[in-house]
């Protein structure tokens, strides 16, 4: 009897799938952070103070949030505290759609 036969013909177990999904998710976050840092490097040239600091000295956060009415998004409390972001501060955002909750009737 082969290993696949023990699993009912599935080439992987649910635990294997969960590990693969976790690894893929971590790789995606890492890639997004690298892309974001490259983006900051490319844009920092015109911003005197930021160009002196460099992108690695600035804190970054990756999180998911919902778009609210008027196109508003919120930065979660934990990220605001970790990055010392206060009301009135100017921040730079990179938006990557994750999931769309739209039906065909919304168009």
Say whether both 51 and 68 belong to one domain: no
User: Both 26 and 48 in a single domain?
Assistant: yes
Q: Using only the alpha carbons of the chain, give its radius of gyration.
A: 20
Same domain assignment for residues 50 and 71: no
Answer yes or no: do 65 and 49 share one domain.
no
Is the pTM higher than 0.75? The answer reads no
User: Does 29 share its domain with 47?
Assistant: yes
Q: Where does the pLDDT of residue 88 fall: very low under 50, low under 70, confident under 90, or very high at 90 and above?
A: very high
What's residue 54's pLDDT?
46
In a domain, 101, yes or no: no
Sign, Cα dihedral of 52, 83, 32, 21: positive
What are 1-58's pLDDT values in tens digits? 455 555 566 677 888 878 888 888 888 888 888 887 777 776 655 544 444 444 444 5
For residue 6, being part of any structural domain is answered with no
Owning domain of residue 74:
61-95
């Amino acid at each position: 009897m082969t290993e696949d036969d023990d699993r009912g013909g599935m080439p992987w177990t649910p635990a294997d799938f969960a590990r693969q999904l976790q690894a893929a998710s971590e790789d995606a976050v890492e890639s997004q952070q690298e892309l974001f840092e490259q983006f900051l490097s490319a844009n920092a040239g015109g911003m005197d103070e930021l160009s002196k600091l460099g992108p690695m000295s600035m804190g970054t956060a990756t999180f998911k949030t919902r778009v609210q009415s008027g196109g508003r998004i919120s930065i979660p409390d934990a990220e605001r505290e970790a990055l010392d972001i206060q009301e009135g501060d100017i921040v730079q955002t990179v938006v990557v759609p994750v999931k769309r909750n739209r039906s065909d009737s919304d168009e």
